[in-house]
Amino acid sequence: MTPKTPSESRTTMTDMVLPSETNALQNLFGGELLARMDRAASIAAGRHSRRITVTASVNHVAFNLAVPLGSVVTVEAAVSRAYTTSMEVYIDVWIEDRYNGKRTKANEAIYTFVAVDETGKPTEVPPLKPESDLEKERYAGALRRKQLSLGTGR
């Protein structure tokens, strides 16, 4: 299979924070952000594999920054490494101030997806060919993360 670059799977999902997604402090629920990241990452994995993809795991995610009601949130996901039937997807989240336009990095997250056929059986995916320095760094890190997770029995 022909290798693909991260650009070919890059997925941008910009949207507002609505009142139904906020907690008692009027900030976005952590769980809602996890769900948005899952949808964006799943599209990225689908663009790389051109298959149905299912979430296999979520790596450690830290919520460093509250996301207030009315913010504009941008979730950007791209495949960072591909294995035989699975893909690691790296996700960056930015928040944008409505009035001065200042863009702040709010989160990074790493999800893993498996490509499956219509019966749910894992199927092969193309290899990933990183291009930029950041893409190469994440590509290398993916392998370390995989070994670490195998090593600790996760």
Alpha carbon 73 to its chain centroid, in Å, reads: 14
Structure tokens at 141: 């890190």
Q: 13 or 125: whose CB is closer to a second copy?
A: 13
CB of 106 to a second copy, least distance (A): 13
Residue 56's nearest CA partner among 144, 134, 149 is 149
Residues near a second copy, by CB under 8 A: 11-16, 18-20, 22-25, 27, 29-32, 34-40, 42-43, 46-47, 50-52, 54-63, 66, 70, 72, 96, 98-101, 111, 116, 118, 120, 149, 154
Give Rg (Cα) of the chain: 16
Question: Would you say 95 and 41 are in contact if contact means Cβ atoms under 8 Å apart?
Answer: no
Q: How far is the CB of 1 from a second copy (least distance, A)?
A: 14
Tokens of 12: 């941008």
Closer residue to a second copy (CB): 25 or 133? 25
